[in-house]
Amino acid sequence: MKVLVPVKRVVDYNVKVRVKPDQSGVDLANVKMSMNPFDEIAVEEAVRLKEAGTVEEIVVVSIGPEKAQDQIRQALAMGADRGLLITAEGEVESLAVAKLLKAVCEEEKPDVVLLGKQAIDDDRNQTGQMLAALMGWSQGTFASKVEKDGDKLHVTREVDGGLQTIALSLPAVVTTDLRLNEPRYASLPNIMKAKKKPLDKKAASEFGVDLTPRLETLKVTEPPKREAGIKVESVEELVDKLKNEAGVL
């Protein structure tokens, strides 16, 4: 099989972002950027499938600024074979991303597209589903297990009630959840090797996709602040406060 792994450059998960005073967005100047953690899980899964002999080739694609090269190189260092950077400045919405990925799918003809269930910056959880829709492909979202079974892909999904396993006809789109695997760190020799792996570059404008945003962000504000309360000295005091002060027991 051939796997396409879209990855997004996002604010590192350890960063506590600050809202800009003019409410135009969050302050991203000098903030650490990383590969979206769920996409890292997708890269890892693709590499494991390759190591198991189920996958022959892994292509990584990122849509974003020039700097998103760093995230593609990281994926190449983890074991992907080649990369494609689609450069676009500013925010590209999930629907436009899905349309660009559709164009990539038509050219690359992957059997599976593996990507994160959500990006931890905009928390939208939709790109994979949208791509599946545009391609008319099956989708297995929130995957905690992915197995090839004959000509089907079995995907176990983390759902509100527990776990659900479905069988998908190929080609398919699979989005990853946290329990799918624990991504590896790239070794130094592999980081060196990744520098020589092919990385193509195209501009988003070359694809003939309308990138005009459908959502306008009117403002970005701080969430309501929660004040820290008090420390209680004992379990007895806690129960007393919950019963008599807060009235929640």
Partner 1 sequence: MTALVIAEHDGEHLSDATAKTVTAATKLGGDVHVLVAGPDAIAQAASKLGGVTKVLHAGDDAYAKQLAEPMAALIVGLAGDYDAILAPAGTDGKNFLPRVAALLDVMQISAITGVEGPDTFLRPIYAGNAVATVKSSDAKKVITVQATAFEAPSGEGSAPVEPVGEGVELPSVSDFVAEELTHSDRPELQGAKIVISGGRALGSTENFEEYIFPIADKIGAAVGASRAAVDAGYVPNDYQVGQTGKVVAPDLYIAVGISGAIQHLAGMKDSKVIVAINKDEEAPIFSVADYGLVADLFEALPKLKDALGA
Binders of ligand FAD among residues 116 to 135 (CB under 6 A) are 120
Asked if residue 185 binds ligand FAD (CB under 6 A), the reply is: no
Could you give the dihedral angle defined by the CA atoms of residues 208, 210, 211 and 215, in that order, rounded to the nearest 10 degrees? -170
Give the distance between the most distant pair of CA atoms in the chain: 68
User: Do the beta carbons of residue 72 and residue 66 sit within 8 Å?
Assistant: no
Using CB under 8 A as the binding rule, the residues of this chain from 27 to 86 that contact partner 1 are 38
Q: 17: which DSSP letter? A: -
**Cα(149)–Cα(133) distance, integer angstroms:** 23
Asked if residue 37 binds ligand FAD (CB under 6 A), the reply is: yes
**What is the total count of residues that contact partner 1 (CB under 8 A)?**
80
Q: Work out what residue 142 binds among partner 1, ligand FAD, none; the CB cut-off runs from 5 to 8 Å by kind.
A: partner 1
Q: Work out what residue 174 binds among ligand FAD, partner 1, none; the CB cut-off runs from 5 to 8 Å by kind.
A: none
- 3-class state of residue 123 by DSSP: coil
User: Mask: binding to partner 1, 97-136, rule CB under 8 A, as x and -?
Assistant: -x------------------xx-xxxxxxxx-xxxxxx-x
Asked if residue 188 binds partner 1 (CB under 8 A), the reply is: no
**What is the total count of residues that contact ligand FAD (CB under 6 A)?**
3
**Cα(40)–Cα(10) distance, integer angstroms:** 12
